[in-house]
């Protein structure tokens, strides 16, 4: 399951940003995981929820946006929506499609705070 390593990479990226930019915690992390990125979003969410413990992301809301897949059909020279790699062009039925959107996995936004949350007491 490569989602574990993807989650670890996201956590590492945010932890490095926290050190560099000097923030103590994140209250919200927004990711974009395209429909054609080859990522199981449920598995990624689970891996992130487990992987953020004892990091600046602990307790953060995790928002995952899922933009649809897009491709350029070389046969009919049209940009089309597709749900997965290997789909036929909905315009001409051809299979000469070059993905052009929905392939990304990226951090879109962080809401950060200078101080750690107050301890419950």
Domain ranges, residue 60: 3-68+102-113
Q: Is residue 84 part of a domain?
A: no
Q: Is residue 88 part of a domain?
A: no
Q: Is residue 43 part of a domain?
A: yes
SS3 106: strand
What are the tens digits of pLDDT across the range 42-63?
999 999 999 999 999 999 999 9
Q: Is residue 118 part of a domain?
A: no
Provide long-range contacts, Cβ within 8 A and 24+ apart, for 47-52: 47/1, 47/3, 47/4, 47/6, 47/7, 47/8, 48/7, 48/10, 48/11, 50/7, 51/4, 51/7, 51/8, 51/11, 52/11
Q: Is residue 60 part of a domain?
A: yes
Q: Is residue 56 part of a domain?
A: yes
Number of domains in the chain: 1
Q: Is residue 17 part of a domain?
A: yes
Q: Which pTM does this prediction carry? A: 0.82
Give Rg (Cα) of the chain.
18
pLDDT (tens place) for every residue of the chain, 121 residues total: 599 999 999 999 999 999 999 999 999 999 999 999 999 999 999 999 999 999 999 999 999 999 999 999 999 999 999 999 999 999 999 999 999 999 999 999 999 998 765 555 5
């Amino acid at each position: 399951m490569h989602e574990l390593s993807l989650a670890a990479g996201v956590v590492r990226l945010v932890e490095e940003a926290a050190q560099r930019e000097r923030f103590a915690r994140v209250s919200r992390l927004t990711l974009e995981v395209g429909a054609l990125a080859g990522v199981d979003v449920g598995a990624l969410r689970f891996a992130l929820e487990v992987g953020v413990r004892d990091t600046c992301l602990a307790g953060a809301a995790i928002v995952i946006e899922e933009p649809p897949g897009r491709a350029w059909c070389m046969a009919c020279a049209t940009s089309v929506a597709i749900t997965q790699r290997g789909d036929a062009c909905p315009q001409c039925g051809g299979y000469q499609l070059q993905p052009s959107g929905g392939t990304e996995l990226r951090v879109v936004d962080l809401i950060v705070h200078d101080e750690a949350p107050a301890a419950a007491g």
